[in-house]
Amino acid sequence: MHDLLKKGDKYVDAEEAEKITKNLREGRKAEVHKRKTYDEQKHTDKNKSKDERMNKGYAQDRPVRQKREEVKTPTPLNIPRTKLLMEIQHMKELEWPKPMLTPSGKRNQSKYCHFHRDHEHDIEECLQLKEEIERLLRRGLLARHVKNDKGKQRLEGLPPPRAGVINMIIGGIASGDDSNSKKARFNQSITFDEGDVIGVTHLHDDTLVIVGDIANFDVKRVLVDGGSAGNVLTWDAFLGLKVPQEKLKMVTTSLQGLGGATVIPEGTVELSVTLGMYSATVVIVTNFLVVKTPMAYNAIYGRPLLNAVGAVPSTYHQVMKFPTSRGNGSVRGDQQASRK
């Protein structure tokens, strides 16, 4: 009886061993088949076009920015991206891409991207440039380049359309009690560095001339002058703003003109002024002295306005900075306009 049990145990052990061996053999076959399928698929994908591989998620074939933002439908622009890049290439807010990861030998040498500064694709096809433009648009920095056809709405959050553009005296009344002088101040430091002189032609002794935003109009040739005791607006610019003349308030103080002549203002008018780019902006309502006298500028931003917003202009850096609730804002000068 003992011998029969012993033989039975041997039979069971042999059967279990055969079963384990069979399972291992089948597992190896499955692994070989899986690896073969993977190698075949990899070889097939390698022969596919780049677009097909990118659709399958081969992110290593293009530079990947952290937290990449996919552009589904780019915002329509009123100029080609090539020209836009030339205009904004010195903008300090512009983030240039990292070098491409694809080996140079595998890139399309017949196409060149000025944004990546390398061969592979045309600039109009560059996804990263489209993403960067969208990012700058959301900050309101490129609003004037948005195509605004009739019936189409502008990007949400961008500034409203301008009411118009006005193209194209030292001294005045002291205005220490400007209605906005008690305006809340923001506890922020204002500094200038070498990044602020990018795009500025040196050496120069140019004044700081900007495009002002007065009463929702773009007013060209506005002088930023901390030496002026009043904000000044020419008669022609006043008419261009389409402000009703009855809004003018009479003043009795005379001004000393550039040639030393005495100038009697037509009156003073209260107008809104916007400084900065959306959304780091400051809006202030301030008084302007309206004068009928020939001058090189459409308007002058004097001490009443500059002190009210805490603005710090720098002719050397050709920029004016000021604090806002969303960080420091700035307005760049136009050197070419200052020399005309």
pLDDT digits (tens, 9 = 90+) for 101-133: 888 888 888 888 888 888 888 888 888 888 888
Q: Please, what is the average pLDDT of the chain?
A: 75
pLDDT bucket at 76, cuts 50 / 70 / 90 = confident
Cα distances (angstroms) measured from residue 73 to each of 77, 102, 130: 12, 26, 10
**Better-predicted residue by pLDDT, 296 or 153:** 296
- What pLDDT, on a 0 to 100 scale, did the predictor assign at position 5? 45
pLDDT bucket at 57, cuts 50 / 70 / 90 = very low
The span from the CA of 176 to the CA of 174, in Å, is: 6
154-158, Cβ contacts within 8 angstroms, sequence gap of 24 or more: 155/75, 157/278, 157/279, 158/278
- What pLDDT, on a 0 to 100 scale, did the predictor assign at position 55? 42
Least trusted range by pLDDT, from 31-45, 91-105, 270-284: 31-45
The tokens for 44 are: 């097939």
- The helices-and-strands tally (H runs, E runs) of the chain is 7, 14
Q: What one-character-per-residue DSSP string does 240-279 give?
A: HTT--GGG-B-----EE-TTS-EE--SEEEEEEEEEEETT
pLDDT bucket at 25, cuts 50 / 70 / 90 = low
- pLDDT at residue 317 is higher than 70: yes
**Better-predicted residue by pLDDT, 71 or 75:** 75
pLDDT bucket at 91, cuts 50 / 70 / 90 = confident
CATH number of 164-338: 2.40.70.10
Domain ranges of the chain: 59-145, 164-338
- pLDDT at residue 29 is higher than 50: yes
CA 188 to chain centre: 21
- What pLDDT, on a 0 to 100 scale, did the predictor assign at position 72? 58
- What pLDDT, on a 0 to 100 scale, did the predictor assign at position 151? 31
The residues, any chain, with a CB within 8 Å of residue 33's CB and separated by 6 or more, are: none
The span from the CA of 206 to the CA of 243, in Å, is: 31
